Chain A
Amino acid sequence: MGLEYVKISPGFEKYMPKDYVDLVKYGQFGKQIDVQQIDQIKELVEEHPMCAGCYMAYFVRIFYASLPKPEDTIVLGTAGCARLALSQAAVPFIYGNYGDTNAVASGLKRALSIRFPDKIKDVVVVAGDGGLMDIGFGMTMHSWFRREKFTTIMVDNEVYGNTGGQESGMSPKGVQLKMAPKGKKFDKINAVELAKTAGCVYVAKLAPTNPKRIAKTIKRAILAARELGPTFIHVYTSCNIEYSIPTERVLADAKEREKNDFGFYEWMTDEAKEYLEEQEKKMAEAKT
Chain B
Amino acid sequence: MKRYNMRIAGVGGQGVVTSAHILGNAMSAAGKYASLVPFFGSEKRMAPVEAYVRASDQPIYEVGEVVYPNVIMIYHPQVITHGKSYTMPFYSGLKPNGLVIINTDVDIIPEEDHAILEKLNTKVINFPATKIALDIAGTELATNMAMIGLFFGITRLVDFEYIEQAVKERFLGNTFVASGGTASLDSAIEKKFKKKVELLEKNMQVIREAFKIAEENGWVLEEITV
Q: Do chains A and B touch in the complex (CB under 8 A)?
A: yes
Interface residues of A (CB under 8 A from B): 49, 241
> With A and B bound together, what is the CA distance between A241 and B44 in angstroms?
15
Bound-complex Cα distance A94 to B44 (A)? 26
Write out, one digit per residue, whether chain B residues 17-52 have a CB within 8 A of any chain A CB (1) or not (0): 000000000000000000000000010100000000
* 3 closest residue pairs by CB, A with B: A49-B42, A49-B44, A241-B180
Residues of A near B180 (CB, < 8 A) are: 241
* 3 A/B residue pairs, CB under 8 Å, sorted by A: A49-B42, A49-B44, A241-B180
B44: A residues at CB distance < 8 A = 49
Q: What's the dominant secondary structure at chain A's contact region? A: loop
As a 0/1 sequence over residues 176 to 212 of chain B, the CB contacts with chain A under 8 angstroms (1 = contact) are 0000100000000000000000000000000000000
**Nearest chain B CB to A15 CB, angstrom units:** 21
Cα(A163)–Cα(B42), bound, Å: 15
Taking CB atoms, residues of chain B closer than 8 Å to A49 are: 42, 44
Residue of B nearest to A48 (CB): B42
CB-CB nearest in chain B for A84: B42
Residue positions of B touching A, CB distance < 8 A: 42, 44, 180
Shortest distance from the beta carbon of A168 to any chain B beta carbon, whole Å: 20
> In the bound complex, what is the Cα–Cα distance between A241 and B181 (angstroms)?
12
Shortest C-beta distance, A162 to chain B (Å), equals: 13
Closest-by-CB residue of B relative to A52 is: B44
Return chain B residues, CB-CB under 8 Å to A241. 180
Q: Please, which residues of chain A bring their CB within 8 A of the CB of B42?
A: 49
Closest residue of B by beta carbon distance from A241? B180
Closest to B44 in A: A49
CA distance A38 to B52 in the complex (A): 42
Tell me, rounded to whole Å, the shortest Cβ–Cβ distance linking A249 to chain B: 16
Shortest Cβ gap from A159 to chain B (Å): 15
Identify the closest chain A residue to B45 (Cβ).
A52
User: How far, in whole Å, are A49 and B42 apart by their CA atoms in the complex?
Assistant: 7
User: Once the chains are docked, how many angstroms separate the CA of A243 from the CA of B180?
Assistant: 15
Distance in angstroms from B93 CB to nearest chain A CB is: 26
Distance to closest chain B CB from A244 (angstroms): 12
Query: Shortest distance in angstroms between B38's beta carbon and chain A's nearest beta carbon?
Result: 16
* Chain A residue with the shortest CB-CB distance to B41: A49
A241–B180 CA distance with the chains assembled, in angstroms: 10
Interchain nearest-CB distance for B166 vs A (Å): 27
Q: What is the CB-to-nearest-CB distance from B160 to chain A, in angstroms, rounded to a whole number?
A: 38
Closest A residue to B42 by beta carbon equals A49
Question: Closest chain A residue to B43 by CB distance?
Answer: A49
Whole-angstrom CA separation of A49 from B180 in the bound complex? 15
- Min Cβ gap B183→A in Å is 12
Which B-chain residue is minimally distant from A49 (CB atoms)? B42
A249 to B44, CA, bound (A): 21
* Cα(A49)–Cα(B41), bound, Å: 10
Bound complex: CA A241 to CA B43 (Å) = 14
Rounded to whole angstroms, the CA-CA distance of A241 and B184 in the bound complex is: 12
In the assembled complex, the CB of A53 is this many whole angstroms from the nearest CB of chain B, namely: 12
> From residue B215, how far is it (CB to closest CB) to chain A in Å?
43
CA of A241 to CA of B42 in the docked complex: distance in angstroms? 16
Instruction: Give the Cβ gap from B42 to chain A, nearest Cβ, in Å.
Output: 5
Instruction: Quote the shortest CB–CB distance from A139 to chain B (angstroms).
Output: 30
